[in-house]
Amino acid sequence: MSLGIQLKNVTKKIGSNTIIDQLSLDIHKGEVVGLLGPNGAGKTTTIRMMVGLMKMTSGDILIDGLSVSEKRSATAQKLGAIVENPDFYSYMSGLDNLRYFAKLQDKKIGRQTIDEVVSIVGLTESIKKKVKTYSLGMKQRLGLAQSLLHRPKVLILDEPTNGLDPAGIREFREYIRRLAGEQNMTIVVSSHLLSEIELMCDRVAIIQNGRLVRTETIKETSDQENLVKPSSQVVMELADSSKAEQILQEKLPTLETQSRGQRELLIQADKETTAKVIHLLAVQDHPIYRVRDSQQSLEDRFLEITDEKGEAYADAHSQ
Ligand SMILES: Nc1ncnc2c1ncn2[C@@H]1O[C@H](COP(=O)(O)OP(=O)(O)O)[C@@H](O)[C@H]1O
Ligand SMILES: [Mg+2]
């Protein structure tokens, strides 16, 4: 069984509302998948069903091959989760909090296991300090340690980067990547911001209105790859795209161009050609506001999806 988590036609209805609609997704063992969607998309609902906090209306979820609906306690043993912000006793040390949570578990959890998870999340130095002295990032890592106490193979985290600053997000990302790599854990992380999770995930599943819109593999592009990258589509933001197109067609007749609206010109070019294009326009005093690679625009596509929703919402409410 190479699947860590399998969502099979998961549907959740509350009253006459369909909150999650026939959601299917296979997540491989050792894979880190981001559940990405705007607020209200259904991320928390999906996660609550995965961890057995909420029943589904139809469909099923398998954790390491076991059905959440049929084997709830067995699947609970296999997974660790942070669903709501974890609560700690702030006047107690991190260690005492973990000891307390360890006692609540069915399985006996020894000091050695506690030390191990503390070291995995990088809190060894400060674990004896009171939680009230911790930064938000440290509290988040303590939450992660708590969810790892029973050494689960599957980890499910609802918006774990919420409220963290960029340095905190980067740090958290490193611990997640390490868990996936060294412990071969299967990890699901939800977020409403692609930028916060894209670098920690192998794949993102975009959900909107309770439906899976698409999944995208995040490719690691090494610097080497970027250097030898053949031609790709480049988006140029300009003062006047048709005038710029004229200039370019005259000087570089083989260049493929396509204007999009008044201000955007798409060109098919490698790095050398892009440099030439910029030069040609600059010497003609044609203002260039921005140049970007349209291949790297999962963010754009995600924004398009969420914008469509925003517009649809605005339309519906402006009538
Ligand atoms: N207990 C509930 N009763 C009714 N509607 C709910 C309930 N929980 C969530 N919803 C609705 O389900 C949709 C998805 O919510 P949620 O899963 O919290 O989204 P997300 O976590 O992606 O922001 C929202 O429209 C929300 O209002
Ligand atoms: Mg949510």
Residue 167, pLDDT > 90, answer no
Q: How confident is the model at residue 301 (pLDDT cuts 50, 70, 90)?
A: low
Residue 310, pLDDT > 90, answer no
The architecture of the domain spanning 3-217 is 3-Layer(aba) Sandwich (3.40)
Identify the residue whose tokens are 């969502």.
7
- Of all ligands present, the nearest one to the C-alpha of 83 is 2
Condensed to tens digits (0 to 9), the pLDDT of residues 37-74 reads: 988 999 999 999 999 999 999 999 999 999 999 998 89
- How far is 195 from 218, CA to CA, in rounded Å? 12
**Ligand 1 in contact with 42 (CB < 6 A)?**
yes
- How far is 50 from 48, CA to CA, in rounded Å? 5
Residue 97, pLDDT > 70, answer yes
Helix (H, G, I), strand (E, B) or coil at 72: helix
- How far is 254 from 197, CA to CA, in rounded Å? 40
Identify the residue whose tokens are 């010109």.
265
- Of all ligands present, the nearest one to the C-alpha of 84 is 2
Amino acid type, 127: I
The confidence score (pLDDT) of residue 83 equals 86
Q: What are the residue ranges spanned by the domains of the chain? A: 3-217, 223-296
**Ligand 1 in contact with 45 (CB < 6 A)?**
yes
8 Cα–ligand 1 center, Å: 20
State how far the alpha carbon of 289 is from the alpha carbons of 52, 244, 260, 263, 270, in Å: 50, 13, 15, 9, 19
3-217 shares its CATH topology with 223-296: no
Quote the percentage of the chain above a pLDDT of 90: 62
Q: How confident is the model at residue 313 (pLDDT cuts 50, 70, 90)?
A: very low
223-296, superfamily in CATH? Answer: Peptidase S8 propeptide/proteinase inhibitor I9 (3.30.70.80)
Q: Out of 21-30, 52-61, 209-218, pick the least confident.
A: 209-218
The angle at the Cα of 53, spanning 48 to 59, to the nearest 5 degrees, equals 65
